[in-house]
Structure 1
Amino acid sequence: MRGGASRRRLVLGVLLAVSVALLVLDSREGNDPVTSGARAAGDMAFHPISAGVSAVAAPIDDSYRALRAAPAASERIDELERENKKLRSRLEARDRDDEQAGELDELLRLSGMGGYEIVPAHTVTRMSSSGEAEVVTLDVGKRDGVRADMTVVNGDGLVGRVSRAQAHTSTVMLVTDGSSAVGARMEDSSEIGAIDGQARAVDGSGALTFTLMDTKARMHEGDRIVTLGSHENRPYVPGVPIGTIAEVEETSDALQRTARVAPAADLSTLDVVGVVVAGPEEDPRDSVLPPDPRDEDEADAARHPTGETGGGEH
């Protein structure tokens, strides 16, 4: 028994001595054959054990890292989504601002050409509290100088007239309303008639009917119509573009001539409008109308006659 203990102490002493010797030799510079061989033998002996431990621990380590990274990644994704939402909102707001600025420029151009004094406004709702379909509510009212029967326009032409004015808002009957009637005149002519609203057409767009007073007067597709106006400039000031004749209606009634008119203003997308609080000192006639596309077509045809080759003489 005592001999076995002595052998164990002897082996332990030898191992300690060898370990100290290897540490001393390994601290020296250069590649010593003895230490290199010993180190290589140690690697060979312990590498399988180390690899096995790493293989077992790797999935646990990966799972631990994934658990640590998951909350941070989720928070980062949420943060990016919030930033993208804010960015989209800013871009949409900028686009709306640019669009409204363009509409305001067109409105000021029209009012300047016609000599109209206007109060700019925004449309708030498309339907009034009474349920009428062809009215809009504006964010201006009596405090802004708006009164009933004032003309309402946008940058393209006639929108309608103020039917009711409250302190801070006003209700506008659109020109397409079924009860709307506007004194009108044909462009470049003294022929007058009346524009009547037809509420909504089958395709959902606003519709107007123009009836000439003189049944012998001629009208054609493409002819443009403006407001006739009155001395009091109410309910409509003169010279505002109403629309363009889209189709001359053939009727058996010789006592009236009618035509379907496409409104100059897109009443389905109203935003920036102007209430005319003071009319012009004199009738602007046709000066508010934009250039006639038919004149441009004729000028283009004159510049490029049919059959012209453009190759010059040979």
Structure 2
Amino acid sequence: MLKDLGSPTTRRSSPRSAFRSAGEAPLRSVGMPSTVRRRRTVLILVILACFTLIVLDARRSAGSPLEPVREAAASVFGPLESTATSAREPVDDLRDRFAEMDRLKAENERLKQANEDLTRQLTTSDYARSRADELDKLLEVAPKYTMTPARVIGIGGAQSFSHTVTIDAGTADGVRVDMTVMNGVGLVGRVVRTTQGTATVLLIGDRNSTVGGRLNQTMALGFVSGRGDVAGTLDYKLVDPKARPKVGDRIVTWGSRGNAPYVPGVPIGIVTSVTPNAGALGSTATIKPYVDPTRIDTVGVVTGPPARPPRTQLKGRGN
């Protein structure tokens, strides 16, 4: 027991064991900077290698050492890229088609709106031009009569007469029943009903309309009556059964007592055909009116006697 406790071997080994036990930590701590240096060295070498490869590849020479690598990568990734592109193309095409459809739809709407605007402008221009023409024609005949201008604002059905129009002038404008209504080309009809702001006009083409008419060339008198058709066709019968109207003869009003309901000298229409009366003397002429009853807009109501200079007094030769 004394040998074991006091053995030199035991005494010598104990300090070294204690030293190693106490020195293990310092040995490990001394080894860490070496590991860091090795990692830094590897990183530097990798960076240098990459830089070298970049420089070599930038030369783009035929003998570039990266050419085999590039070819190998192209052979591997090329088919994958082509497949991905092929798979993406239908999606891209579909997206492009939707975008094109939206663009075409927007363009179509824009062109449609522009076309509607142009059509509206053209229609308005045509209407304004037509009204201006009618007004010009009315002004040409206005000096012969005292008249009130008016516009047609209604036609037929809603009124008590079969062939009538409503105008926007009434008693407040001096319009009365049995006044002559005309436009720039001829006779329209006569006033049969009035309100303060409107008047109803019976067209000469109505079955209940009869107008005294005179042949413009022979001065022969007759009566013009309507047939009641849409075109406003008229029949003309002469007072003298021996008188014979001819195709192309023009008919004008001969006038009424007190210029009501018709003033004299207003054009009515033109003879288009002549038919002998069956079993009786005389003949009946078909008249095409100058005024188209389906296209009446601006009219004039004759509110006073025809304008004319004073008549010249006739004196005998002995005076």
Asked if these proteins are the same fold (TM beyond 0.5), I'd say yes
Unaligned runs of 5+ in 2: 1-42, 310-319
- Partner SS, residue 211 of structure 2: strand
CA shift, 1:136, in A, is 0.9
**Is the Cα–Cα contact under 8 Å of residues 207 and 261 in structure 1 kept in the other structure?**
yes
Show structure 1 runs of 5+ residues with no match.
Answer: 1-11, 284-314
| 1:243 corresponds to | 269
Contact 2:276 2:282 in 1 (8 A): no
Shift of 1:148: 1.4
SS at match of 2:188: strand
> 1:101 Cα shift?
1.6
Q: Which one of the candidate residues 189, 210, 235 is aligned to 1:209?
A: 235
Secondary structure of the equivalent of 2:258? coil
Q: What is residue 169 of structure 2 aligned with on the other side? A: 140
**TM-score, normalized by length of structure 1?**
0.74
Superposed displacement of residue 100, structure 1: 1.9
Deviations 1:224-257 (A, max 9, x none): 1100113522111111111112222212555654
CA drift at 1:14: 9.7
Distance change in 2, residues 1:36/1:171 (3 Å): farther
Q: Which moved more, 1:180-189 or 1:68-77?
A: 68-77
Among 38, 47, 52, the residue aligned to 1:21? 52
Residue-by-residue CA offset, 1:263-291 (whole Å, 9 max, x unaligned): 121122222222222231349xxxxxxxx
Task: Name the aligned partner's letter for residue 190 of structure 1.
Answer: M
CA distance in 1 between partners of 2:236 and 2:209 (Å): 12
Q: Which residue of 2 aligns with 1:218?
A: 244
The AA in structure 2 aligned to 1:54 is T
What is the distance in 2 between the residues matched to 1:79 and 1:233?
A: 58
Which shows bigger deviation, 215-224 or 32-41?
Answer: 32-41
Once the two structures are superposed, the pairs formed by residues 151-300 of structure 1 within 5 Å of their partners are 151-200=180-229, 204-230=230-256, 232-252=258-278, 254=280, 257-282=283-308
Displacement after TM superposition at 1:189 (Å): 3.0
More helix by share: 2
Q: Could you report, residue by residue, the CA deviation over 1:43-98 in whole angstroms, capped at 9, with x for unpaired residues?
A: 34432221111111111222234345544543343233222222211211111111
Amino acid corresponding to residue 193 of structure 1 in structure 2: G
Q: 1:43 to 1:173 in 2, by over 3 A?
A: same
Determine the C-alpha separation between the residues in 2 that align with 1:278 and 1:35.
114
- Please state whether the residue corresponding to 1:232 is helix, strand or coil: helix
Give the superposition deviation at 1:261: 1.6
Identity %: 36
Cα gap change, 1:23/1:180 in structure 2, threshold over 3 Å: closer, same or farther? same
Residue 14 to residue 58, structure 1, CA distance change in 2 (3 Å): farther
Give 3-state SS (helix, strand or coil) of 2:158's partner.
Answer: coil
Structure 2 letter corresponding to 1:34: S
- Matched residue type, 1:82: Q
Aligned residue number for residue 52 of structure 1 = 83
Are residues 1:37 and 2:67 paired?
A: yes
- In structure 2, what residue type is equivalent to 1:172? V
Aligned residues: 266
Q: Do the aligned partners of 2:146 and 2:307 also contact (CA within 8 Å) in 1?
A: no
Aligned to 2:132: 101
| Corresponding letter in the other structure for 1:188 | Q
- Rounded Cα–Cα distance in structure 2 between residues aligned with 1:171 and 1:159: 12
The 1-side partners of 2:305 and 2:49 are apart by 113
Distance 1:217 1:65, change over 3 A: closer
Shift of 1:21: 2.6
Find the residue that maps to 1:267 and give its secondary structure: coil
Could you tell me which amino acid in structure 2 is paired with residue 135 of structure 1? Answer: T
Q: Is it true that 1:75 corresponds to 2:103 in the alignment?
A: no
Q: 1-side partners of 2:184 and 2:95: how far apart?
A: 65
CA drift of 1:132 comes to 2.6
Counterparts of 2:47 and 2:187, CA distance in 1: 106
CA contact (8 A) 2:273 2:285 kept: yes
**Deviations 1:10-63 (Å, cap 9, x if unpaired)?**
xx99998764433233445x7564167357524344322211111111112222
Q: 1:13/1:129 Cα in 2 relative to 1: closer, same or farther (>3 Å)?
A: same
Partner SS state of residue 265, structure 2: coil
Task: Name the Cα RMSD after superposition.
Answer: 2.9
Q: Say yes or no: does 1:150 pair with 2:179.
A: yes
Native 8 Å contact 1:176 1:198 kept in 2: yes
- Higher mean alpha-carbon deviation, 249-258 vs 126-135, is at 249-258
Amino acid at match of 1:230: S
